[in-house]
A = this chain, B = another copy of it.
Amino acid sequence: MAKGIHAVILAGGAGERFWPASRSGHPKPLLRVVGKDSLLSATGHRADAFAAELWLVCGEDHATAMRRELALPASRVLVEPVRRNTAMAVALAATRIAAEDPDAVMVVLPADHYIPDRRAFAADIRKAAKAAVDASVLVTLGVRPTRPDTGYGYIQTGPPAARSHPGLRRVRRFVEKPNAATAKRYLRAGGYLWNAGIFVWTARSILEEVECYMPDLHRVLAPVRKAGRRIPRSVLSRAYRRAPSAPIDTGVMERSRRVWTLPVRWEWSDVGTWESLASELGVGPGSTRLVDGNLAFDDLGGNLVWGRQERPIALLGVEGLAVVDTGDALLITRLDRSSDVRGIVKALKKMGRADVT
């Protein structure tokens, strides 16, 4: 019987599309994009509302900064020696939690999402946790689409999952990021949810499914399982060197026969691009939003400005732009093109500008 929920924050991603605010040395979870908290810190506060235990999975570079941000003891931080995508991160965390309690409920939280309604979030997590325990299922939270977004994966829902778990539904299928026409069709048709990458399950359930669908990964983790509550660095390094690199979505979720989804109604964003941040902040025709900058002039509005505090920024005759002004780099992008920012980071790396990527 589970003593309490274990929240696992995954903070391995770099957030390249958030360049130049995010850097390899200062990744997206550490950014304060909405309000005073960093995305990571806000995720921690969100977890506090329902979790008895908090875990962090992150890379070596940022372990210290991120630990400090969450005020976590070292024993609760799982430091990945190399990046191996989410399947490995999730399986490692599940293995470690299982060493304490194999039947513990585990909630996977991406470190860089924006969810303002903590209370509604916690209530849904508890509902999902109950289902995960009662029915030994993997629950993925699905967000009702508000626009035909092509940046998210979609979940097509099936019939209600069980009379004892109202709200939860079976999953008909997962769909990769659709094109614009398909996304519009989904929105019109209904029955499609955004795949938020927030998962609820017991450590036992997810490890059983990893063993079934990703046997390589399960095998690689054997020495970690044996290590129990104290995983020597050398054991972890060897496991990571051998681990396949795959997302938990394609590795397990899309193949498992025991996945349920909980459609949720609260506001959610993965803050994946400058455009999605602009939309969260309320940028619209005539309405500019400012993050930490000094906008001295802006005649048309409708822009997102991310600045340094003192240096004045003046916009004349422009709208629908993101202007991101860090001390050492400057990005000006049309908001509706901001999903291509990654290409800039790639170009800069090619130019040998590791100092600004």
Give the contacts of A325-345 with B (CB-CB under 8 A).
325, 328-334, 336-338, 340-341, 343-344
Which residues of chain B come closer than 8 Å to A341, judged between CB atoms? 316
Give the contacts of A303-341 with B (CB-CB under 8 A).
307, 310-318, 321, 323, 325, 328-334, 336-338, 340-341
Which residues of chain B come closer than 8 Å to A19, judged between CB atoms? 314
Asked if A316 and B328 make an inter-chain contact with CB atoms under 8 angstroms apart, the answer reads no
**One of B20, B332, B344, B348 near A323 (C-beta < 8 A):** B332
Asked if A334 and B318 make an inter-chain contact with CB atoms under 8 angstroms apart, the answer reads yes
**One of B297, B307, B329, B340 near A316 (C-beta < 8 A):** B340
Asked if B317 and A353 make an inter-chain contact with CB atoms under 8 angstroms apart, the answer reads no
Asked if A316 and B333 make an inter-chain contact with CB atoms under 8 angstroms apart, the answer reads yes
Q: Is A82 an interface residue (CB 8 A)?
A: no
Which residues of chain B come closer than 8 Å to A297, judged between CB atoms? 343-344, 347-348
Q: Is A351 an interface residue (CB 8 A)?
A: yes
* Interface residues on chain A, size class: 35 or more
Give the contacts of A226-245 with B (CB-CB under 8 A).
none
**One of B312, B332, B336, B343 near A353 (C-beta < 8 A):** B312
Q: Is A356 an interface residue (CB 8 A)?
A: yes
Which residues of chain B come closer than 8 Å to A325, judged between CB atoms? 330
Asked if B317 and A336 make an inter-chain contact with CB atoms under 8 angstroms apart, the answer reads yes
Asked if A351 and B296 make an inter-chain contact with CB atoms under 8 angstroms apart, the answer reads yes
**Bound-complex Cα distance A106 to B316 (A):** 41
Which residues of chain B come closer than 8 Å to A314, judged between CB atoms? 19-20, 329-333, 344, 348
Min CB distance A250 to B, Å, is 29
Which residues of chain B come closer than 8 Å to A338, judged between CB atoms? 316
User: Which of A19, A312, A318 counts the most B-chain CB atoms under 10 A from its CB?
Assistant: A312
Contact with B along A81-119 (1 / 0, CB 8 A): 000000000000000000000000000000000000000
Which residues of chain B come closer than 8 Å to A312, judged between CB atoms? 329-330, 348, 353, 356
Q: Which residues of A contact B (CB under 8 A)?
A: 19-20, 296-297, 299, 307, 310-318, 321, 323, 325, 328-334, 336-338, 340-341, 343-344, 347-348, 351, 353, 356
Q: Apart from A316-B337, A318-B334, what 5 extra A-B contacts exist at CB < 8 Å?
A: A297-B347, A311-B328, A312-B353, A313-B331, A316-B333
